[in-house]
Amino acid sequence: MPAKIKTAVLGATGYSGYELARLLLRHPRLEKPLLFRRPSENGDGGDLAKLFPALSGNGGFPLQPFSWEALKEVDLLFLATPHDVSRALAPGAVARGIRVIDLSGAWRLKQPQHRSVYGFHDSDAAAAEELTDKAVYGLPELNGEQIREASLVANPGCYATSVILALAPLLAANVIGREKGIISDSKSGVSGAGKEPTSRTHFVSVADNLSAYSVFGHRHTGEILEQLNLNAAELIFTPHLLPIPRGILSTIYVHLNREMQPAEVQSCLQDFYAGKRWVRVFETPKLPEIQFSLHSNYCDLGFCLADDHRRLVLVSCVDNLLKGAAGQAVQNLNLMYGWQEDKGLA
């Protein structure tokens, strides 16, 4: 058995960070990961199992304050941190020869007009721009070959994952009438907003409610546009907050530029994802539901075609904390080290 890889997680106390730590701890090709608190968190120690009792009884999972000295033997660093923290720390890790998988939005976007939504203020703008160019968007089903060689992988956003995977096969086949516009009506559980409580994510605000937010201004819009080579006039993306802990369902409305039969659409999706372990294409008219992909790394896709054979509705479901975050990060790890994509995930 080859030597095991040493990993570390900065931000292990967040929802995605916890899920990531849980997956890494059971991965057969990894040493027990180092777990770091975020720099902004109080305390210099503790145990992850005290925050997440589901980990109790497994020998302890000590947390430590972040330092470069502690990373001397680490091969790969996961950043489950706020966008500005990842933007500041990733260059230092890469310069030290540590590979990075970043779960934030710090390195996902190439085009300045899309990146401006984050308002980054880089201390070395030239170095940040150079690293932005080198960063690989970590959607394995689309960018697998580039991920294998990457020093910095920008893990996709959860909404973006659900929308991009649904649309990519049809856009690649050039069967979508882009001039008529694409509408994505996407809904997420509350964990997608992160662990820090806000007035919007308070129980009283969320329970027995459904609300739209960040209309025409959500941070994942730029990812969808860039990865699918769409312009802003071709997409309306509207996110909604569901009163559930986790899971995403995107309902996507498109017009086809020619008449198609259901079997053609089915083949388009299935052929595009043939051999892709973590995408499941349902047989029409069966549609995905959030509960089917919950607690898994699957993206579930389904569709219904109107009687005119031109109007198409796609449905895409992911678990926002797994395929939309930590699970996809482990999938990227597996690609980077030449392992099967389901290692530690199956």
195 and 145 belong to one structural domain: no
| 346, part of any domain | no
- Mean pLDDT of all residues in the chain? 94
313 and 286 belong to one structural domain: yes
| 302, part of any domain | yes
End-to-end CA distance of the chain: 20
34 and 148 belong to one structural domain: yes
268 is catalytic: no
Which own/partner contact pairs does 42-49 have at CB distance under 8 Å and 24+ positions apart? 48/12, 48/13, 48/18, 48/21
Q: How far apart are CA 90 and CA 202, in angstroms?
A: 32
331 and 303 belong to one structural domain: no
In this structure, the number of other CB atoms found within 10 A of the CB of residue 169 comes to 22
Largest Cα–Cα separation, the chain: 63
| 343, part of any domain | no
197 and 68 belong to one structural domain: no
Which pLDDT score is estimated for 194?
A: 82
| 211, part of any domain | yes
| 54, part of any domain | yes
- pTM of the entire predicted model: 0.95
11 and 140 belong to one structural domain: yes
- Tell whether the model's pLDDT for residue 239 goes beyond 60: yes
Range of 41-55, 74-88, 186-200 with top mean pLDDT: 74-88
189 and 311 belong to one structural domain: yes
109 and 210 belong to one structural domain: no
Tokens of 50: 């005290």
| 1, part of any domain | no
| 345, part of any domain | no
Q: What is the mean pLDDT of residues 292-299?
A: 98
Question: Where residue 134 sits, what CATH number does that domain have?
Answer: 3.40.50.720
Question: Where residue 257 sits, what CATH number does that domain have?
Answer: 3.30.360.10
How many alpha carbons lie under 13 Å from residue 297 in its C-beta half-sphere? Answer: 23
50 and 174 belong to one structural domain: no
| Residues of the domain holding 195 | 158-318
- Number of domains within the chain: 2
Q: Write out pLDDT tens, residues 250-279.
A: 999 999 999 999 999 999 999 999 999 999
Q: Write out pLDDT tens, residues 75-102.
A: 999 999 999 999 999 999 999 999 999 9
Which own/partner contact pairs does 140-146 have at CB distance under 8 Å and 24+ positions apart? 140/276, 140/278, 140/328, 140/331, 140/332, 140/335, 140/341, 141/165, 141/168, 141/273, 141/276, 141/278, 141/279, 142/168, 142/227, 144/335
The dihedral formed by the CA atoms of 312, 192, 219 and 143, expressed in degrees to the nearest 10: -70
127 and 228 belong to one structural domain: no
| 313, part of any domain | yes
Q: Are 117 and 124 in contact (CB under 8 A)?
A: no
Listed in sequence order, the residues at least 6 apart from 180 whose beta carbon sits closer than 8 Å to its beta carbon are 254, 255
Q: Write out pLDDT tens, residues 100-112.
A: 999 999 999 999 9
36 and 116 belong to one structural domain: yes
43 and 129 belong to one structural domain: yes
Which position among 158, 268, 299, 317 bears the catalytic label? 158
Listed in sequence order, the residues at least 6 apart from 202 whose beta carbon sits closer than 8 Å to its beta carbon are none
